[in-house]
Structure 1
Amino acid sequence: MAKKPSVAFVLRPFDGLPGEPDWVAMREVVPAATATVRTTAEHGSRDVVVTTVLPEGWPALHRADGQVMVALQTSTGSGDASRDVATALLAALELEPGTPVTSTGLPTPGPRLQDVLDLSVPFTVTVHESYDYWLTPDTERTTDVQASLDEARETIIPTRKLASVESAYWCRMGEREYLRWAMPHDEQAMVDALARLHAARQSAIGDARFIGYFRSSGVVVPVWELVPGTGADALEQPAEEFEARFAEALADPSPLDANARRARAGLVSRQVTLR
């Protein structure tokens, strides 16, 4: 039996899409959020809702009202998340309304999101406090339906997207608060910039302490821990101020000094790579 061709691993699967860092954030750190994209004319110029998750881990859903939804947080992958999501999206477009895509298997080489979506449409994320958006406006909220939504809502980590900067998300986990900020810059240059700021004691955002970074889908996501009770609103201006400092550090072509090299080594030793 001939072996099926496999999908090549792609380090930055969402590279080239509008809002790449937000795609990564929705895939990894945001519990409940949506953004609307549009397919190309070849694929019907259809508006599609990209969501973090769908009921029962479905990869996609052609809702009863005709709305197509596709999820980013799924349990399987081929090594190219863009190809995986595109496979689910295209499958959902072919289904009758009211039908979920329950499984896609491992995709073979084919169209990616960059081929399927109209790249002129901005990727604007809306964070939700519940999963009510799963339902159509006329869905009957039976006791079972409401109980299921309530149970799902209890798993949501309170999250807010900052308005003053791009792709930065505040969250509260128990009594602790964090800011996780996905950035699209080259990893080596970005870590150098973070190291410069950390060594110069300029890596804090207000009273939020920079604690390191993780990497996901080829994008670096720095993390800050906040003083409990800070909240998201208090971060808006300090985040803008940090962004200006970071841009200056990112543009600095000079070699790292000894303090910055030590800071960089510490950051790299603690970094974590997610899928």
Structure 2
Amino acid sequence: MGKSKRNSPKPDSNRAQRLAERRAAQEQAAQTVTRPFAGLAAECDLVALREFVPSATATLKLAPGAQGDRPVTLATVLPGAVAALVRAGAEPIGFVGAQVQHQSADPAADLAAAILWTQSAEPGGSLNSVAEAEITAPALTEVIDPGASLDLTVHPDFNWWVPAGVQPDAQVAATIEQANRAIMPSARLELGADAVGAAWWVDAGERAHLRWIRPEAEDDVMLALARVHAAGGLHLGEGSRFAGSFRTHGLLVPVFDLDQERHPTEWVTAAAEFGTRLVEALATDTPLTADERRSRDGLRSRQITLR
């Protein structure tokens, strides 16, 4: 008699549409690159620029043998959230955006393609999406120097969108003013040459946060946080509270709520001390104690994943 089709969804039904959307989401998740910026010394800062830093720029150091020699500046976001643009001038400069309107499942590949586009694009041009460029780029580690860190400039506003000495038209000026009103003050904490990862202070309005992107394996960082928590060291001193952690681009990011009245530099010493405690915990390979296991389970319940 054959297999019953009573439970099969009709092609045009809402259930069929939901199943199709679920399959598409699963296929996209399977294609997503788990840790796109692995192999780059600037991995942690690249993740920060993509995820939460409002306004910052850094001149990229191209890899030896990379196509083109036009200077390229990485920016958190460009006007219109475009993928790239080339600023006209006596010496044209390429700009590529970390936070873009259109992206694929591999942000590192998108960034590599955008960088290559800037090398041959006409001054004054912009690229909405790397898909429009039709560029098959090599790995990002072959386009920018993988051993170079980012020499970052954190901006208090988006006025750098317009070159110095240029008077923007009314529409551009209004766009910049609107962006400036929404900006969250940010700062990268300089914790010394031995510091690991990238620790960023962000004033989110109601409170300030420290978001510390760690380069170690996610599970290793979680176990280390559990050890530190069980020992009573999961804090940055008075005026701080561990808020939780989030996972993004294959990395774990511990987050602390901070006293908003204190300047970012006032947290440097406490953050460095916490960093030492965490590194020591990461070097420990003994089985977790009962208290540490309870800490781990509690910390995992306060963890979220950003896509």
Alignment TM-score, normalising by the size of structure 2: 0.82
Candidates 21, 28, 42, aligned match of 1:19: 42
Cross-structure match for 1:3: none
Amino acid of the structure 1 residue aligned with 2:102: T
Candidates 205, 210, 214, aligned match of 1:179: 210
Candidates 219, 228, 246, aligned match of 1:214: 246
Shift of 1:55: 0.4
Shift of 1:182: 0.6
Cross-structure match for 1:131: 158
State the secondary structure of the residue aligned to 2:256.
strand
Distance between the aligned counterparts of 1:266 and 1:26, measured in 2?
29
Amino acid of the structure 2 residue aligned with 1:224: F
Distance between the aligned counterparts of 2:253 and 2:111, measured in 1?
22
Between the aligned residues of both structures, percent identity stands at 39
Cross-structure match for 2:58: 35
Shift of 1:105: 2.7
CA contact (8 A) 2:83 2:97 kept: yes
Cross-structure match for 2:234: 203
Unaligned runs of 5+ in 2: 1-27
Distance between the aligned counterparts of 1:168 and 1:98, measured in 2?
35
Cross-structure match for 1:192: 223
Shift of 1:228: 3.2
State the secondary structure of the residue aligned to 1:38.
coil
User: Is 1:112 aligned with 2:135?
Assistant: no
Report which of the two structures shows the higher radius of gyration computed on alpha carbons: 2
RMSD: 2.0
Unaligned runs of 5+ in 1: 1-5
Shift of 1:104: 2.3
CA contact (8 A) 1:214 1:222 kept: yes
Shift of 1:122: 2.5
Q: Which whole-Å deviations, capped at 9, do the CAs of 1:11-60 have from their partners, x for residues lacking one?
A: 11001112211000110010111111122333124431111100011011
User: Is 1:249 aligned with 2:273?
Assistant: no
Alignment TM-score, normalising by the size of structure 1: 0.91
Q: Which whole-Å deviations, capped at 9, do the CAs of 1:127-177 have from their partners, x for residues lacking one?
A: 111112222223224444333222111111111111124511111122311
Distance between the aligned counterparts of 1:203 and 1:243, measured in 2?
10
Higher relative contact order (CA 8 A, sep 6+): 1
CA contact (8 A) 1:39 1:46 kept: no
